[in-house]
Amino acid sequence: MSQVRVDAAAILPQLLDLSLQAGREILDVYAKGCSVSHKADSSPVTIADQRAEAVILAGLAKIAPDVPVVAEEECAAGRMPPHGALFFLVDPLDGTKEFLSRNGEFTVNIALVDAGVPVAGVVYAPVIGVIYAGYGHGDEAVAFKAKVEGGVIGPQSPIAVRSAPAEGLAAIGSRSHGAKETGDWLERFRVDTFVSAGSSLKFCLVAEGKADIYPRLGRTMEWDTAAGDAVLRAAGGLVTTLDGRPLVYGKREQSADSPYANPHFVAYGDRHLIAAAGEAA
């Protein structure tokens, strides 16, 4: 298929606005309550997921009509569009379990992927009222955090990963998934604190220097991780597989796994920890 180009910096404000629109749909359902059903893989889904995804798909069709969109609920229904190197990854409501438990730790995730790399991403937590975004890498990268009040994004504060402290690391992990394998993996480091959080907020906490490392030794899909990964990379960190290779996107055809399934991974703030993890394995 023919390949188009998109300026990640130019498109980011539109992705921010689109995430706010999706957040309004989610908050409407959140306030009223809703029933839950389950997909073929037994994961929960609500009308909030579906309404938010519909808003995002309609918006992306206007913003970048020639760029394919791989979205969670569309894929669950068997609708996976063909795509080249450039495509969007969308999780309209990451953390449905958090949504159902009403702890507020769920997010809207929108990412732009180019040649396997998430080059722009937005992570919006509508109940908490915070939004993260990032695009680019290296000296050209921009990553920021902002409060959202009354559906309006406030002043943007730049964020960056921190250097790993010598006295012990701050690790973060999933609130809704088992921690034994994670704890076993973390034994290669001295970890002074471990915090649990839901959804892709874990990537963002590493990105803003509130944690050093986030290992995930469990099932995830590309739409779960791409937006948070983009924010983290723009803030100076990196997400790798357990053998230290950067996590890649666009894994549609996988003989050993489902389309777009991720291997186990680790999100690092300080990239020096990647080599240290390999040496301690």
Which residues are annotated binding-site positions for Mg(2+)?
72, 91, 93-94, 224
Q: Are 148 and 126 in contact (CB under 8 A)?
A: yes
User: Angle CA(13)–CA(16)–CA(19) in degrees, nearest 5?
Assistant: 150
Residue 123 tokens, joined? 């992570």
With b for 16 or more beta-carbon neighbours within 10 A and e for fewer, the 248-269 pattern comes to bbbbeeeeeeeebebbbbbbbb
Q: What residues form the annotated binding site?
A: 72, 91, 93-96, 224
Sheet containing strand 265-268, strands side by side: 191-197, 169-174, 213-216, 265-268, 238-241
Residue 245 DSSP symbol: P
Burial group, residue 150, by CB count within 10 angstroms (0-12, 13-18, 19+): exposed
Q: What residues form the annotated binding site for substrate?
A: 72, 93-96, 224
